[in-house]
Amino acid sequence: MIRFEGVGKRHPDGTVAVEGLDLEVPTGRITVLVGPSGCGKTTLLRMVNRMVEPTSGRVLLDDTDVAELEPAKLRRGIGYVIQQAGLFPHRKVIDNIATVPYLLGWDRKKARARAAELLELVGLAPETAKRYPFQLSGGQQQRVGVARALAADPPVLLMDEPFSAVDPVVRAGLQEELLRLQSELHKTVLFVTHDIEEAVRLGDQVVVLREHGRIAQLADPHTLLTSPADDGVAAFLGRDRGLRGLGLRPAKAVELRPVDDGLRYGGWELALDDERRPIGWIDRSAGTAELQPSAGYRPDSDTLRAALDAAVLSPAGVAVALDADGRAIGTASREAVLAALTPAGGGPVSVRKPDPADAMGTPAGADTVGTADGADVVGTADGADGGR
């Protein structure tokens, strides 16, 4: 655990970066510091490894004041990832990753073996080991940066806007990767960003900072999005915070209508191939065979936001739930998705089932309850096939 106690930083010129801040960063969790530039978030982060010394208060790392520790030694026990990756240009990727093990005096073979392990852990190909940093893309460099920070298996990881210099698609991939790593490694992560979306996506707890490092709100992402502490925080969260909150809730909560119950929705019919993969929607009322694209989501891994998005995109107003192989396992109308939003009071991870009666009023209501994968229902299979 990292604890900030009455921490302040006054620069020699009299400007105040941080003033009287108290904060606990729990062990094994991701805590995100988010705020506009100049709010002191990077200053706070650097106090942990003594790259910045507080002018008042103290920072405790597992109940030890970091000021009592020798800086170089302290730093070798704390992973650090920065925006531009900061890889050493003259060292091959493998030796970049092995930096801290080398500093700790591991022998070369052991350090490189560990580095190779990490290369794989962060999802880079083994042949990347022999490249130089300039031969890598920005996203790859950042992965190497993360691997380097993890090399000596430090319990604490400091991340200073690590993903803000890469394009949005790569950034999303890196964020996902971090969450996957964290689910395996359970590090104590202090993460700094100016991007509230990233904060909400990654944080177990989010600390919204105002200028001078004053805490505007400290909350889990769901609470933050649904009940911001004041108008300032609400404005910082942005106007679609309600919709974004859906991105924190699993799509599992949406009641599905099994594919075998028929594929007609009003004038639209979903066309599947022999493997049950959706091909598109056919407008029966128009009498043509023209296909409109279907939109799908993965109930097991996607969020309510993705489910709603798919329902909104579909011409029939129906999202197609897909399994890992892209086969349709059920459908969810806009109404069904909206019904899943209603039990919001249950908290961010609520998967309480909505009442099937008001979900979509299917005739075979009794059969469909709980058969989200749709595979067990065989009664109307012929009818569904006939629709192709």
Interface residue list for other proteins (CB under 8 A):
49, 51, 71-76, 78, 80, 82-90, 99-100, 103, 132-134, 145, 148, 158
Give the tokens for residue 385: 């096939």
Rounded distance between C-alpha atoms, residue 141 and residue 137, angstroms: 6
Which one, 69 or 364, has the nearer CB to other proteins?
Answer: 69
Residue type, 2: I
Q: How far is the CB of 378 from other proteins (least distance, A)?
A: 60
Tokens found for residue 52: 């910045």
Shortest distance, position 45 Cβ to other proteins, whole Å: 10
For residue 319, how many C-alpha atoms fall within 13 Å in the half-sphere facing its CB?
A: 28
**CB closer to other proteins out of 49 and 314:** 49
Q: How far is the CB of 264 from other proteins (least distance, A)?
A: 58
Residue closer to other proteins (CB basis): 98 or 308: 98
Nearer to other proteins, 49 or 205 (CB): 49
CB of residue 79 vs other proteins: minimum separation in angstroms?
9
Are 359 and 261 a contacting pair, CB within 8 Å?
Answer: no
Do 151 and 118 form a contact (C-beta atoms < 8 A)?
yes
Cβ of residue 159: shortest distance to other proteins, in angstroms?
Answer: 11
Nearest-approach distance from CB 133 to other proteins, in angstroms: 7
> Would you say 99 or 331 has its CB closer to other proteins?
99
- Minimum distance, C-beta of residue 92 to other proteins, in the bound complex (Å): 8
How close are the terminal C-alpha atoms of the chain, in Å?
59
- State which residue, 141 or 314, has the beta carbon closest to other proteins: 141
- Which CB, 89 or 345, lies closer to other proteins? 89
Query: Which CB atom, from 88 or from 383, has the smaller least distance to other proteins?
Result: 88
Nearer to other proteins, 148 or 252 (CB): 148
User: CB of 21: closest distance to other proteins in angstroms?
Assistant: 21
Cα separation, 282 vs 293, in Å, equals 9
Residue 158 CB, shortest distance to other proteins, in Å, is 8
